[in-house]
Amino acid sequence: MKKKFVTWTLVLYVIYGLLLGLYFFQWSDIGVPPAYEGTAADPATFMTDKELELTQEYSRYQNFLSFLGEPLEWIIYLGVMIFGASVVFRNFGERVSRFRIIQIPLFVLLLQTLTTILLFPIDYASRWLSVEYGISNQNFSSWMRDELIGFWIGYIIMALLITVLYFLMKKFQKRWWLIAWVLMIPFMFFMMYLQPVVIDPLYNDFSELQNKQLEEKILTLAEEAEIPAERVYEVNMSEKTNSMNAYVNGIGSNLRIVLWDTTLNRLQENEVLFIMAHEIGHYVMNHLYWNLAGAIIAAFLGLFLTYHLLRYATRRWGERLGFTKVSEITSLPMFFFILTLLSFLSSPVELAVSRNAEKEADEYAIEMTQDPKAAIGSFQELTVNGLSDVHPPALVKYLRYGHPTMMERIHMLESYQDINVKEE
Binding-site residues for Zn(2+): 278, 282, 358
Q: For residue 205, give the nearest of 260, 139, 279, 134 by alpha carbon.
A: 260
Name the residues annotated as catalytic: 279, 362
Annotated binding site: 278, 282, 358
CA separation, residue 403 to residues 10, 24, 190 (Å): 34, 20, 26
Strand boundaries in 102-255, DSSP class E: 206-208, 233-235, 246-249
CA separation, residue 194 to residues 22, 251, 260, 267, 292 (Å): 44, 9, 20, 30, 14
Percentages (nearest 5) of helix, strand, coil residues in the chain: 75, 5, 20
Cβ contacts of residue 411 below 8 Å, gap of 6+? 36, 39, 40, 41
CA separation, residue 127 to residues 50, 131, 137, 139, 241 (Å): 22, 6, 10, 10, 11
List beta partners, residue 247: 258
What is the C-alpha to C-alpha distance for residues 9 and 11, in angstroms, rounded to an integer?
6
Cβ contacts of residue 93 below 8 Å, gap of 6+? 102, 103, 104, 106, 107, 110, 329
What is the C-alpha to C-alpha distance for residues 172 and 191, in angstroms, rounded to an integer?
26
CA separation, residue 119 to residues 148, 162, 226, 332 (Å): 14, 21, 44, 18
What is the C-alpha to C-alpha distance for residues 125 and 160, in angstroms, rounded to an integer?
31
Cβ contacts of residue 86 below 8 Å, gap of 6+? 80, 107, 111, 321, 322, 323, 330, 332, 333
The pairing of beta strand 233-235 with beta strand 256-260: parallel
On the CB side of 222, CA atoms within 13 Å amount to 20
What is the C-alpha to C-alpha distance for residues 378 and 124, in angstroms, rounded to an integer?
30
What is the C-alpha to C-alpha distance for residues 405 and 411, in angstroms, rounded to an integer?
10
What is the C-alpha to C-alpha distance for residues 286 and 292, in angstroms, rounded to an integer?
10
